[in-house]
Structure 1
Amino acid sequence: MEAYETEEQQVEAIKSWWKENGKAVVIGGVVGIGAILGWKYYQSSQITAKETASAAYERALTALQASGADAVESTQAFIDANKSSEYASLAALQLAKVQVEAGQLENALEQLNWVASNSKDESLTAMAQVRSARIQAEQGNFDAALATLANVKPASWAARVAELKGDIALRQGDIATARSSYTEALQAGMNQAVQMKLDDLAE
């Protein structure tokens, strides 16, 4: 910093600096304050939107639990209105469950395929894919079911995928593949139920 001989020189230097830079300082301050206020508003609006979606999801879920397949329209309306939210994926999964229980397998598949294509949550995507594969296997579309399972990525779902592959192989009469898949499922951490399936296939 330069040394000034008198206080007057220092004051004049400050005035000169302010004259040259004051406008930029003011603009910078206004922009900075605006950015902070804008960010706070954005955060607040995001919280409000999430709370609103959460409350709407609870209402949709309550309607599904109370009315089952009769609540399809209201649940679908919620999904359509909240497509960018994971609440829509959760609602679609619940709707698919209700539709399976009502024997509406094709409608359930549509919901599950939508979740698999639109959810940003890897676990929800995997859940939708595994459930889709179960429905496809139930319909006898074994090749389609296996193709769906091939798209399941999270390692945490490896055991469920292997078990379902074993179930499909067993229904196709391929005992060797079923045995291999059940063994894989056990190694990946599946429970006693899989061990019982494997025991039933003991040579």
Structure 2
Amino acid sequence: MKVYSNENEQVDALKNFFAQNGKALVVGVGLGVGALVGWRYWNSNQDSGSRETSAAYQQVTSALDASKPATLDAAAKFASDNSNTYGTLASLNLAKRYIDANQLDKAAAQLQSGLKDTKDANLQAVLNLRLARIQLQQNQPDEVLKTLKNVKGDGWTAIVADVRGEALLSKGDVKGARDAWTKGIDSDAFSTLKEMLQMKVNNLLG
């Protein structure tokens, strides 16, 4: 998946993707954001973390290739052996490969494992949002709503509202979906993301 240079670019691309693919967006939204956050965390921990662990993390994640199971196994072992930010980021990267391969159960397991290894609220938010989208794809709306409760911080309001609305709509709760998306529209989010949510509200009314 392409990693965008800034959040505006990423959200613009997501909007175009939504217009073309509709509900396929439920897994795709946020992956670029997660990758960007992961890179920033890796960068910020270079000085404070072990150089050896840092080098090992870079090696296993750079080698990740879904067509080569050995690289996935190596990343999984690294994540299991490192109960720290590097281990969490390895789980995040590995989960992406599993998502790309449509192995959603394995992706969810990696995200849940990563959540145990970090106390950082922003990184936890990324992991929980990815997990919620996987649960949505697996038709588990109640699990989605539970997972979203673990996402903290006003900066995530619109993205949480997007996923919550999709989960509620899948349960037949049209009013709940509309209320969730309206909350996202009223939040301090990028205009393009608000426009995407408005499109979903308009589709309900139509």
- Using the size of structure 1 for normalisation, the TM-score is 0.70
Hey, what's the Cα distance between the residues in 2 that align with 1:179 and 1:125?
26
Tell me the residue number matched to 1:43. none
What is the Cα deviation at residue 66 of structure 1?
Answer: 7.5
Tell me the residue number matched to 2:174. 175
Amino acid at match of 1:55: A
Tell me the residue number matched to 1:101. 100
Tell me the residue number matched to 1:33. none
What is the aligned residue count?
157
1:79-133 alpha-carbon deviations (Å, 9 max, x no partner): 133223x111111001011111112111111111112222121111111111111
2:86 maps to 1:87: yes
Tell me the residue number matched to 1:56. 56
Contact 1:69–1:99 (8 Å) recurs in 2: no
Contact 2:129–2:151 (8 Å) recurs in 1: yes
Amino acid at match of 2:196: A
Contact 1:89–1:115 (8 Å) recurs in 2: yes
Please tell me the root mean square deviation across aligned C-alpha atoms, in Å. 2.1
Q: Matched residue of 1:166: which SS? A: helix
What is the Cα deviation at residue 47 of structure 1?
Answer: 5.3
Amino acid at match of 1:196: M
Runs of at least 4 residues of structure 1 off by over 3 A?
46-49, 65-70
**Cα 1:121–1:49, aligned 2, differ >3 Å: closer, same or farther?**
closer
Contact 1:160–1:185 (8 Å) recurs in 2: yes
Q: Matched residue of 1:103: which SS? A: coil
* Bigger fraction of residues in helix: 1
Gaps in structure 1 of 5+ consecutive residues? 1-45
Hey, what's the Cα distance between the residues in 2 that align with 1:59 and 1:117?
23
Map 1:109-148 onto structure 2 (within 5 A): 109-148=108-147
Equivalent of residue 198 in structure 1, options 193, 198, 201:
201
Contact 1:69–1:98 (8 Å) recurs in 2: no
The structure whose Rg is larger is 1
1:158-184 alpha-carbon deviations (Å, 9 max, x no partner): 221111011112222221111111111
Q: Matched residue of 2:147: which SS? A: helix
Hey, what's the Cα distance between the residues in 2 that align with 1:48 and 1:142?
39
Gaps in structure 2 of 5+ consecutive residues? 1-45
Q: Matched residue of 1:73: which SS? A: helix
What is the Cα deviation at residue 155 of structure 1?
Answer: 2.1
Tell me the residue number matched to 1:151. 150
**Cα 1:69–1:159, aligned 2, differ >3 Å: closer, same or farther?**
farther
